């Protein structure tokens, strides 16, 4: 590959392309960069999530905030038992049942560390600041902070609150170069037994991927369409204005090319 073509590629992506060779191996600089990115991804998985500090930060948005917990009680259990991250603790189930509204909620929003506490801390508050004004007129349940959650925990939380829809924001599995990526998963009619085919996802939410200011209107549009149509998932396609501008997930591209 010519130097001119290499330079052209690098101005558009931080993917690992044209790494260079030293005999039959990659050059030392590229190897060290790969190991550093791998170490950062591992660190992101194990970084502690400060739920109390997050609650204080989110209360400044003007919404009530509640803490909930899955049945995964620590990081090691969460990583080894994905099923426990999908189930509410009995204490949290009782707490959420106590704040059910007779009129019902239109939407329950949950924030979790998932597989990257760094993503939740960095991207969660900016995304909510951009999203909440777009949900004017929605009856919102208290914001829920739920450490050690898997995506499907939104079903149990939404069902416990009596919400018509649920949105969970959680740290995605770190890639090589994207340790701070947040995913947003929404489901209409949250209930135990929902499958991933009944969810919609907006992923790669981070400054170097899909910025919060661009992700928020896309999420709001999907939520609005799910409410209008009465379903979410594979039958709900993103035809929002923001979807017409493609966002390149350079890290995923790099992982595929290496």
**Alpha-carbon gap, residue 232 to 226, rounded angstroms:** 5
Domains of the chain with CATH codes: 50-243 (3.40.50.11240)
Q: Please report, for residues 1, 15, 87, 92, the alpha-carbon distance to residue 150 in angstroms, rounded to integers and kept in the order given.
A: 42, 28, 9, 15
Q: Are 114 and 145 in contact (CB under 8 A)?
A: no
pLDDT digits (tens, 9 = 90+) for 154-179: 999 999 999 999 999 999 988 777 88
In terms of pLDDT, which residue wins out, 130 or 14? 130
pTM here is 0.84
In terms of residues, how long is the chain? 258
Note the pLDDT of residue 136: 94
């Amino acid at each position: 590959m010519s130097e001119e073509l290499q330079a052209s590629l690098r101005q558009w992506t931080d993917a690992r392309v044209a790494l260079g060779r030293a005999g039959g191996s990659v050059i030392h600089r590229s190897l060290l960069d790969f190991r550093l990115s791998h170490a950062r991804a591992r660190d992101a998985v194990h970084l502690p999530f400060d739920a109390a500090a997050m609650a204080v930060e989110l209360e400044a948005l003007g919404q009530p905030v509640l803490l909930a917990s899955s049945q995964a009680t620590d990081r090691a259990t969460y990583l080894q038992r994905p099923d426990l991250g999908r189930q509410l603790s009995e204490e949290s189930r009782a707490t959420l049942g106590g704040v059910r509204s007779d009129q019902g909620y239109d939407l329950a929003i949950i924030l979790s560390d998932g597989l990257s506490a760094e993503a939740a801390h960095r991207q969660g508050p900016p995304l909510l600041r951009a999203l909440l004004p777009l949900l004017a007129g929605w009856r919102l349940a208290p914001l829920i902070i739920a450490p050690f959650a898997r995506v499907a925990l939104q079903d149990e939380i939404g069902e416990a609150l009596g919400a018509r829809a649920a949105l969970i924001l959680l740290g995605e599995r770190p890639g090589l170069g994207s340790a701070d990526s947040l995913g947003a998963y929404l489901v209409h009619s949250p209930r135990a037994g929902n499958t991933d085919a009944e969810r919609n996802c907006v992923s790669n939410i981070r400054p170097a991927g899909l910025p919060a200011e661009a992700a928020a209107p896309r999420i709001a549009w999907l939520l609005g369409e799910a409410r209008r149509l009465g379903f979410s998932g594979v039958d709900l396609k993103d035809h929002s204005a923001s979807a017409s501008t493609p966002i390149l997930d350079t890290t995923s591209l790099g992982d595929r090319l290496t």
